[in-house]
Structure 1
Amino acid sequence: MGGQSSTEILLTPATFDLPFASRQTRHERDTGGSLAKIRQEKKYPSSKINMTTQWECEKAGQNWTNHAFALYKQKMGDGVFKEKFEELFQVPSLEGFAAKSKVENQITKMKLLAFFGNLRKSHAHGVGGVGTAQIVSDPGFPEHEFFKPGRAFPVRIYHSNAIMADDASADRRGAFLKFSDEDVESPLDMELVTGSVDTCWDIPTLTGFMKAQRTNPALKDFCFEHPIIYYGLVDSLRRAPDSYTDLRYYGHHVFRFRAKDDKERFVKFRLVPADGHPESGLLDFDDQRIVWRRERLPDEFRPQTYLRTEFAERLKKKPINYTLQLQLHEWEENDPYEIFNPVRVWDPDTHPWIDLAHVQITTLLPQDITERMIFNLGTQPESLGLVEPKSIYDHSSVPYLKAKVNPFMSKLQPINPPNPEPPLKLERHKYTLEIHTGRTKGSGTDSTITVILIGAWARTPPIKLDQAFMNNFEAGHVDILDIEAVDVGEIQAMTLSTDSRGMKSDWYVDSIFVVDRQRGRRQEFPVYRWITDRSDSITLRSGRASLMAHDPPVLRGLRELELEKRKERYQWAHDEKGFPAHLAVKTLNDLPRDNKVPQSLKARDLRNANKNGIPLRVKFNSAFRRWEKFDDCENLCKVALGEENVREFATDIWRTDYEFGRQILNECHPSTITRCRMVPPNFPVQDETLRPQLERGMNLKQEATSGRLYMMDCSLLDGLSLRKPEHQDEENEFHPTAPMALFYVNGKKEFVPIAIQLYPQVSRLMPSGRFMYDDKPGPENPIWTPMDSDFDWILAKMYLRSADAQIHQLVSNSLTQLVMEPFAVSTYRNLSAAHPVYKLLVPHVRKVFAHSLVLKEHVIGEGSILDDISPYDADGRKELIRRYFANFKFKMLNFPAMLAEKGLDDKEALPGYYYRDDGLLIWEAISKYVCDILKMFYDDTVALRDDLEIQTWIRDVKQRGLQWEDESEKGLPDGVRTIRELADIVTSVIFTCSAHYAAHNAAQQDVYSLVPNSPMNMRRAPPKRKPRKGETEMEDIMEALPDRQASCKQLNMAMALSNLGIDEEDDGGCLGHFSDRYFTEDRAQVILGQFQETLQQIAETIRRRNEALDVPYTHLLPEKLPKAFRV
């Protein structure tokens, strides 16, 4: 056999399978079958050795053969060859405490050897890079908690030689992956090496291999101890490869793979070049004959570190791309123990390699950081895991031992040499940092601040910014620091972190300017965020807004990681049926740090209001709980507000129909009416009844056609659950109504009420399936008109205002503001801080989460102030929100579209509707500002449709925010198709958070402070029949009003909700004035200036108009518009 040529002695797959067929293993004898039989019955991982590197080469058309078996047989003979294989695949006893204790003894022994310096660390000479690993979007493996589709991880890669310092030697090459950008901490570490077959299969062979690598003669002897060792060495060694990046790296060890279906599976990993470049460095026949000689060849003249340099040079030109793949084996009863054997590959025909993640390395790691990294095979998420060994002969004993020993060795032993040369020498540059700490109280920090500057392909080591004997980073201060670091070219991004030490560890930063003093370049990095601790370091990019498609690779990768981190922090919650989805937090303290507020002023005010926080109770909460005379109500208003702050209409003309209509149109609930195009059948008012009010001589149908009739419909209040009175007496009972009302624009162009029905008309279901309503008011549900007595008509209007107040607080205010939360959640989850829409929206939605929590606790939920003010309990209040949200359409927030839909856009038909007139001016100003900004970044609709972030954003709002329960259409598109459509959506959000919020809250104090003007509940049931004229008196009205305590709380609540917080320190001013400079582009600043100028012109227009009004409409004056909800 020794005289045969190498070609003649090659083993075929059938020849190699002979040892398995000739003798049953102990496991096969126990199970009564053979490996061959098991393979026929199920997809078991084949053990054919030619399905290794040689097989991969053949598949790729690369001519390479592993001659190890032939060379072994040539020296040792066929008999020894077969005998060795039979020994290899016999399963030793694995049970018992003694067997397990030997594993721990070996671990202790290796740690002692490492401690005394007798155990050398492998893979000590390497080069590192950092980038991203993104799980494939359409995975071919079962659903997995860690490997979620599309999930992005920061990732570090460490390429190295296993033993040899010389890159031109013959050695195993490694690719270590860490799924984090940290030196040690990580959710997952991977150890991958060249060659698909290992050279050891348990602890004894591992220790033997470690000893053999000390000298070439020892390694030669070890190769001939077993043919698989020889084969594995040839399979895994690479001599002077062209690049680390064209090699294939395999994980030889088997790990658990816990998918969500709970089936027992096991997994192997490998890393391959994304472009499929042929593998270099494979050993030729001459090298295979003397595989134990690893030194460089005499004719090799490349430098000792050429691979590390080549990696850095390649990275300097463009990112390096790999594909991470996995093989899965689903465990079945009686599976052979040999599936765990690292010297046996799994048949790729039955266990194909499946793409797991796209790995892109964009940035070279500084050499000192590279050498500090510690990788641990035991670092795995719960959904993966080591297979615990039962003895030192267990195939799982090797990864278990490595997981225990390697981190210990890395911490103990210095790298040799201690200060390795970097793969590329970079020049040193001087930089100046100008750091602006936030101005609000608590923004400063005593922590040590660390910064990393990131270029297109390189980055600096962490740089501490401490200045000795200086008190840096105080609130409102600007710190100017000079630093020196390697030249990373144009700075693309920077990372900031704190060490979390000291009483003041959190730090709020407004912005940072970086000056490259050699190049004379100054860059602005907007921050406007909190930095809390090391694990919460933030990566900043320059202030230029951009779309992901326009980002260079390094920024694209950082962008993906930013969004992945945000998705973990901003998670959806769907726990309130019939409500919009919200952020998954329960309390204000649970909010992400960037969305917390120094203190919730609105919550404080509402708490105080609920406790009678102003000293009204002393004056007005006497033993007589109900009001005796109207003057006491007026006095309450004057004492609470100050007589100089009480508007004239609040105590003088509130009873008139003109004032009633004016308040409906232009005070705190101006969106409650709808044009009446036809009097509805459930409002059976007769022409004859209203003839005195219809001044033009027309009937109702004609007046409706002319656009002079308008409806207020509160019928959805019918049937809501009431709160239980404290005492079972008549005085404490609550008597809400569900009225409908008809309004009319008279000849004086006054908007006045002309008919009120306090309860919905009863309907009957006809045999045809249609509902039939009585054509006349029911005897116990009359329609009230101005022709009734003054006190009867005033009382009817009070019941109407009481019902309208419930809808105002719970629907037009609370629900509308809750609808903003899905937009806020989706903005933080799906839009990078660099995205122009993020920059447009975040000043307006940052406080939405806190505001929603305050609403739910202090207005909507049980125990809120409405428990003592509203007639409905918490269940009733929530049910009202559900009823309105069931019919919600997004165009209700598009101001022009809402006006058109409700028929309120005709200025001639409905004059004096200043909410509409001023609102349209504000809308158009916001819309132009938004459009001009968007056109800076979207050249055409193609760029918009290709913007994955914005399409995901709107889809997330729709599917997981507004329509999470069912498919009921809410009027949002599945994707944004045009710039105009996107501008309308963004404008709607900004308008709702500013103008809508102001218009529905600023006047609450004026409207609700005089309780008879708009009582929040009524303690007396309305009459079921019309009394005779003169029968109803002022005393009846006073008895119907809420008691003194509820009235005090109503006034307190109105005061709290009327404060829009424009002047509060953390709000930063009114609409159009941003203390946070998110856009740094010159063009964007010009557009912002034009927006501010337009708002000033609107203010002047409103003031000129108001000069001619008896009651000026000021609620939409631009200087009075907050840019966000007050918390």
Structure 2
Amino acid sequence: MRSANCVAAAAVLFGSALAAPITDPCIPQLDPNPVARAAAVSARRDGFIYGPSLTGEAAPFPNGTLGNARTKADYDEWNKDRTIIDELIALDVQSLQAAIQTNGGLNSWQDYERILYDGQLNNTNPRGPAPGIISNATQDLLFSMERLSEHPHAVRRVMANEPLPFPLDDAITSKIVGSENTLQSLQAGNRLFIVDHSYQAKYGVATVVERFPVACSAYFYIDPESGNFLPLAIRTNVDADLTYTPLDSANDWLLAKMMFNANDMFHAQMLHLVVSHDVTESVHQAALHTLSENHPIMILLERLMVQAYSSRIVGEELCFNPGGHWDQLMVFNQFGCRQFVTDSWPVDGRYQSGYLENNLRARGLIDANGQSVFNSFPFYDDAKRIRDNYFTFFTSFVNSYYKSENDLAGDFEVHNWFNEASTLAKAQDFPQEKDLSKKILIEVLTHFAYATSVSHHSVNGGAPIASGTLPFHIPAIYTAIPKEKGVKDLMPYLPDPATAVLYLGFMASFNRPFYGSDGRTLEDAFDATTVQRLNQDTKSASKALLDSMQELSQQIRSRAFDSQGLSQNMPFIYRTLDPAYIPFFCAV
């Protein structure tokens, strides 16, 4: 009997023609056939087993009859996209190699910009690099504002009562900031910020190609005069432990920013595994154990988990395997990657702490009222719009299926889901089942959708190839870092032509330029097909969600430089979270 139930459950799960007729989605207390419903949930629970985590110690990974079938199905679907993107990458790599050969190599900083990006990568990145990201790469304002747009997850305010992360001479600080400012006065005025990657010093270095590690910490500040967010100092935390500032030579300061970028790239790419893949997989696996296929919530969760369980398999197969992408390109090896995930999961994998405002407020980037502390915070502007759009949708959805708190109290499947998520599924900081309310359910669903879209694609979707451009954004340092200041030539620190092409191909593999034509972008998250079996209120909310996402997309696509050559007070145009371009799911 159990085997038959597993087959039936698998048929429903994968949409087989063998599946039994499905009634209208409903909460369990309204199901006309509760016995069959309970049997199907039990069969799925038996078929999905919590297996060991992949890529570090974080969320469990599905095992069991149905778990293995699900991961294989997700991988097969991902592989179809991989075939397409590999073909596009091959075309671009061929063009890049020909251009480099014609030029006689990459012989200057300008060659990296001109040869690698001028008319190249048209197949994998038809939008091209973010306007201004290359031409204005050496500007300090671009470097600092990338922390508030493309790489927003590591910056935090130095709190008034904490020890200063590292020292900086008062005379130097005053000369940069003006008006006799010191680190202490900036800290006391809530104007001092830190990005601290010093923890990376403990990770092992990849040896496929010789690279040299740094573990940079960087101070940023809000300028008292202009209000701009600007860089103040960068400390390498290794070897001679040099501290660089804008007062150093142009080459020294530019190298310092490049070294920092290598650390920040590693942080962003590894962090996204935790805050998107691990967070959503742990919660979804609990749902697979507790919610009926016929539960309205499950229908929406499944939509957001397209290809979800391919991601960590792909990582083990192509990225974090011996000799894989990380060993080939990044400074830290596969073991460092796994250690990062293990270290980060208990902190950055916390569910409620990951809510947009909770996270930014804890880092001192917004105030108690949710207002930004900066004169421009591009990531927050777009991320909040997307989160708010989702919140409005899920409010309508939850209120339509639960007319009262008593209706939710009677939904034992959702109560079981909450209980299992925070226990067996190991979801960190997930709301307790005893505290469940409509408000909390709306917040949970909103963050789930936020995690599969904003958390993932803000750093791992098309962003790396659109804004993580060479030669400024390097994945590693390719010659020994200086023991003293006075660098004359930056070329030895850059990847050689073969490595540069390999890196661009890898960055391109995150991009999915063809998703807009097949309904897999964020604006189509809950399309008509997904909600066709759901109630009318949800269908109306879905249409409103589409309209609001399209409106945001149009606004993002209309961004341009002002008379000062700035957009959102940045010397480049931020468009990473365009809902008409990025996927609604964690596309690898």
Same-fold call, TM > 0.5? yes
Q: Which one of 664, 672, 678 corresponds to residue 147 of structure 2?
A: 664
TM-aligned CA distance change 1:1032 to 1:743, over 3 Å: same
Mapping of 1:934-949 within 5 angstroms?
934-949=398-413
Aligned residue in 1 for 2:576: 1115
* Pair 1:530-2:15 in alignment: yes
TM-aligned CA distance change 1:705 to 1:1046, over 3 Å: same
What amino acid does structure 2 have at the position aligned with 1:1021? A
Mapping of 1:204-603 within 5 angstroms?
529-531=14-16, 537-543=18-24, 545-552=25-32, 555-576=33-54, 578-584=57-63, 590-591=69-70, 595=74, 597-601=76-80, 603=82
* Pair 1:716-2:237 in alignment: no
CA contact (8 A) 1:650 1:1013 kept: no
C-alpha offsets along residues 408-453 of structure 1, whole Å, 9 cap, x if unaligned? xxxxxxxxxxxxxxxxxxxxxxxxxxxxxxxxxxxxxxxxxxxxxx
* Pair 1:927-2:391 in alignment: yes
The CA deviation at 1:696 is 5.2
Aligned residue in 1 for 2:268: 808
Q: Which one of 719, 734, 744 corresponds to residue 221 of structure 2?
A: 744
SS at match of 2:330: coil
Q: C-alpha separation between the residues in 2 aligned to 1:957 and 1:992?
A: 16
The CA deviation at 1:886 is 3.4
CA contact (8 A) 2:92 2:120 kept: no
CA contact (8 A) 2:252 2:487 kept: yes
* Pair 1:675-2:169 in alignment: no
C-alpha offsets along residues 740-767 of structure 1, whole Å, 9 cap, x if unaligned? 101122233332211111117xxxxxxx
* Pair 1:1070-2:523 in alignment: yes
CA contact (8 A) 1:674 1:902 kept: yes
Q: C-alpha separation between the residues in 1 aligned to 2:194 and 2:555?
A: 30
C-alpha offsets along residues 491-521 of structure 1, whole Å, 9 cap, x if unaligned? xxxx9999xxxxxxxxxxxxxxxxxxxxxxx
Aligned residue in 1 for 2:437: 978
TM-aligned CA distance change 1:803 to 1:1107, over 3 Å: closer
Q: C-alpha separation between the residues in 2 aligned to 1:558 and 1:644?
A: 50
* Pair 1:992-2:469 in alignment: no
CA contact (8 A) 2:197 2:216 kept: yes
SS at match of 2:540: helix
SS at match of 2:359: helix
CA contact (8 A) 2:128 2:466 kept: no
What amino acid does structure 2 have at the position aligned with 1:1093? D
What amino acid does structure 2 have at the position aligned with 1:541? I
* Pair 1:1057-2:542 in alignment: no
Q: C-alpha separation between the residues in 2 aligned to 1:836 and 1:999?
A: 28
The CA deviation at 1:990 is 0.4
TM-aligned CA distance change 1:925 to 1:948, over 3 Å: same
The CA deviation at 1:826 is 2.0
C-alpha offsets along residues 236-285 of structure 1, whole Å, 9 cap, x if unaligned? xxxxxxxxxxxxxxxxxxxxxxxxxxxxxxxxxxxxxxxxxxxxxxxxxx
The CA deviation at 1:1116 is 2.5
What amino acid does structure 1 have at the position aligned with 2:48? Y
Q: C-alpha separation between the residues in 1 aligned to 2:119 and 2:419?
A: 51
Q: Which one of 1018, 1032, 1041 corresponds to residue 477 of structure 2?
A: 1018
SS at match of 1:658: helix
Q: C-alpha separation between the residues in 1 aligned to 2:85 and 2:520?
A: 19
TM-aligned CA distance change 1:801 to 1:689, over 3 Å: same
The normalised TM-score by structure 2 is 0.86
CA contact (8 A) 1:674 1:903 kept: yes
* Pair 1:637-2:117 in alignment: yes
Larger Rg: 1 or 2?
1
Q: C-alpha separation between the residues in 2 aligned to 1:816 and 1:933?
A: 23
The CA deviation at 1:660 is 1.1
Q: Which one of 238, 243, 250 corresponds to residue 783 of structure 1?
A: 243
Q: C-alpha separation between the residues in 2 aligned to 1:1060 and 1:578?
A: 32
The answer to which structure, 1 or 2, has the higher relative contact order (CA under 8 A, 6+ apart) is: 2
Q: C-alpha separation between the residues in 2 aligned to 1:988 and 1:883?
A: 22
CA contact (8 A) 1:839 1:1078 kept: no
Q: C-alpha separation between the residues in 2 aligned to 1:914 and 1:681?
A: 27
The CA deviation at 1:1100 is 5.3
CA contact (8 A) 2:105 2:497 kept: yes
TM-aligned CA distance change 1:538 to 1:719, over 3 Å: same
CA contact (8 A) 1:607 1:858 kept: no
CA contact (8 A) 2:131 2:573 kept: no
The CA deviation at 1:1097 is 4.2
CA contact (8 A) 1:741 1:753 kept: yes
TM-aligned CA distance change 1:180 to 1:664, over 3 Å: closer
The CA deviation at 1:820 is 1.8
CA contact (8 A) 1:665 1:915 kept: yes
What amino acid does structure 1 have at the position aligned with 2:450? F
SS at match of 1:753: strand
Quick one: percent identity of the two aligned structures?
17
The CA deviation at 1:998 is 2.7
The normalised TM-score by structure 1 is 0.47
Q: C-alpha separation between the residues in 1 aligned to 2:170 and 2:251?
A: 23
SS at match of 1:875: helix
Q: Which one of 1032, 1055, 1065 corresponds to residue 487 of structure 2?
A: 1032
CA contact (8 A) 1:658 1:752 kept: yes
What amino acid does structure 2 have at the position aligned with 1:636? L
SS at match of 1:910: coil
The CA deviation at 1:859 is 2.4
C-alpha offsets along residues 822-871 of structure 1, whole Å, 9 cap, x if unaligned? 12222222211222221222110132112332233222333422221012
**Which segments of 5 or more consecutive residues in structure 2 lack a partner in the other structure?**
none
Q: C-alpha separation between the residues in 1 aligned to 2:66 and 2:242?
A: 47
The CA deviation at 1:1066 is 7.3
SS at match of 2:584: coil
* Pair 1:1048-2:501 in alignment: yes
The CA deviation at 1:581 is 0.8
TM-aligned CA distance change 1:574 to 1:593, over 3 Å: closer
Q: C-alpha separation between the residues in 1 aligned to 2:505 and 2:68?
A: 25
Aligned residue in 2 for 1:655: 138
CA contact (8 A) 2:50 2:62 kept: yes
The structure with more strand, counted as a fraction of residues: 1
CA contact (8 A) 1:1060 1:1122 kept: no
SS at match of 2:580: helix
What amino acid does structure 2 have at the position aligned with 1:539? A
SS at match of 1:641: coil
TM-aligned CA distance change 1:698 to 1:1117, over 3 Å: same
* Pair 1:734-2:211 in alignment: yes
TM-aligned CA distance change 1:565 to 1:628, over 3 Å: same
C-alpha offsets along residues 1047-1104 of structure 1, whole Å, 9 cap, x if unaligned? 1111111122132653264737734441333543222222222333333444455567
The CA deviation at 1:673 is 1.0
The CA deviation at 1:794 is 0.5
CA contact (8 A) 2:72 2:310 kept: no
Q: Which one of 337, 341, 352 corresponds to residue 891 of structure 1?
A: 352
SS at match of 1:1117: coil
TM-aligned CA distance change 1:626 to 1:585, over 3 Å: farther
What amino acid does structure 2 have at the position aligned with 1:1057? F
SS at match of 1:578: coil
CA contact (8 A) 1:722 1:873 kept: yes
What amino acid does structure 1 have at the position aligned with 2:219? L
Aligned residue in 1 for 2:547: 1093
Q: Which one of 871, 891, 912 corresponds to residue 331 of structure 2?
A: 871
